[in-house]
A and B are shown apart, each in its own frame.
Chain A
Amino acid sequence: GDSVTQMEGPVTLSEEAFLTINCTYTATGYPSLFWYVQYPGEGLQLLLKATKADDKGSNKGFEATYRKETTSFHLEKGSVQVSDSAVYFCALSDRGLTGGGNKLTFGTGTQLKVEL
């Protein structure tokens, strides 16, 4: 079945440092890929997405490129801020429901802590 593997956290960085959170996936079809962010006490918010190979998703300074050859979708940001502290989830969407719809398969999440 489909699966998503993320680097374990927590990742602790100083403000303005470069961020990379690794994500690799296994899927039988051609999934869409997503990064979601979860702030303390809140639900998930979509950060960015990419729908086909070589697509780059970007939002709020975060970027991730859909790499089919390495089955990866690593999240990057050039300069993190304290406000970026949250848990980041990589996810894929692959049609597989009996009724024809799709579901999200998530990684275990990577906690990011940004310090001054």
Chain B
Amino acid sequence: DTEVTQTPKHLVMGMTNKKSLKCEQHMGHRAMYWYKQKAKKPPELMFVYSYEKLSINESVPSRFSPECPNSSLLNLHLHALQPEDSALYLCASRSSGGGTGELFFGEGSRLTVL
């Protein structure tokens, strides 16, 4: 079982909806990541939070809004998405933002935008 928990596992939303993806880890990790993965492609980095501060934003459109309420939680707020935003959204954590350790991934939230 993964130690990074993502909810919901599946989400279908219309282009005018507002929804959120949630990610939680209790490993004491201080760096958390959002990745987007389309079919047959590798994960693409979206955001990195290090010690609860946004450290990397890979030029992601503003319709995606990340939030890190505390060191265990990471949210991704979704608003006015497009059908091409349909993908698997993966959350990951790592022990520290300055560390070189492995990433631990959640099982992902599969998003479909109609």
A and B interact physically: no
Interface of A with B (CB < 8 Å)?
none
Interface of B with A (CB < 8 Å)?
none
